[in-house]
Amino acid sequence: MLSAGLARFPESWLLHERLRPQGLEGRGVDGLEAVYADLLRSEPRSPSIDWFAGYASLVTAEYHRRAGNPAAARDAYGRAISHYEHGIELNPASRASADHYVAVALAGRARLALEGGDLARALEELLSSFARKPEAAATLDGLNLSAVDTARMLLARLRAEGPEGLAAKLQDALDALDPAQLELPAYEREVAGVAPGVGPSR
């Protein structure tokens, strides 16, 4: 039924939401991308399928991050970006949303580089993320981390360890963002009249 639905409505977000967990349960983490590889080979081929394949690779990358597999996560992020890029070529109308998720993928790779101690690579990936879609800088990924979160942690490391030029470069990039992107998420903000870490009285 799901296959028939996707054949008729290949751009249905709701149907793809059902397909992803089915792929994960049936084939495991790596199987999710395999499901979309099958769809990419199918005929007739919807020009939107590359976008959804990109999202599947993004989800796969986040699963690998949770499992502590940085190399596999990095590769999956790369595949996600490639799918989105190809999707833009086939369907230029998808650029805005594709750019958003490419920026999220680049931020994910920045986080991996930071956690691996490659500060220069982390900076390069973050700057690419901000350049690709600055409006995505505060978007939380599947691990509840944003590009801004990673940038703040990287900035602290660069100021402590150097070189100073890299810290200044990152600070300039943060200063160029819309200030709204630098606000703390709602769950981290203090509530007026309530001390940090203390919930409101009932």
Q: For every one of its 202 residues, what pLDDT tens digit does the chain have, with 9 covering 90 and above?
A: 666 656 666 676 677 677 676 666 666 677 788 787 877 777 767 778 899 899 999 999 999 999 999 999 999 999 999 999 999 998 999 999 999 999 999 999 999 999 999 999 999 999 999 999 999 999 999 999 999 999 999 999 999 987 889 999 999 999 999 998 888 654 454 433 333 333 333 2
Tell me if 100 sits within 8 A of 133, measured CB to CB. yes
Tell me if 68 sits within 8 A of 92, measured CB to CB. no
Q: Which domain holds residue 33?
A: 7-181
Whether 137 is covered by a domain: the verdict is: yes
Whether 187 is covered by a domain: the verdict is: no
Whether 68 is covered by a domain: the verdict is: yes
Q: And the tokens for 152?
A: 């703040």
Of the candidates 116, 37, 50, which has an alpha carbon nearest to the alpha carbon of residue 86?
50
How many Å apart are CA 65 and CA 79, to the nearest integer? Answer: 15
Whether 2 is covered by a domain: the verdict is: no
What's the DSSP call for residue 42? S
Whether 198 is covered by a domain: the verdict is: no
Total domain count, the chain: 1
User: 3-10 long-range contacts, Cβ below 8 Å, gap at least 24?
Assistant: 6/39, 10/46, 10/48, 10/49
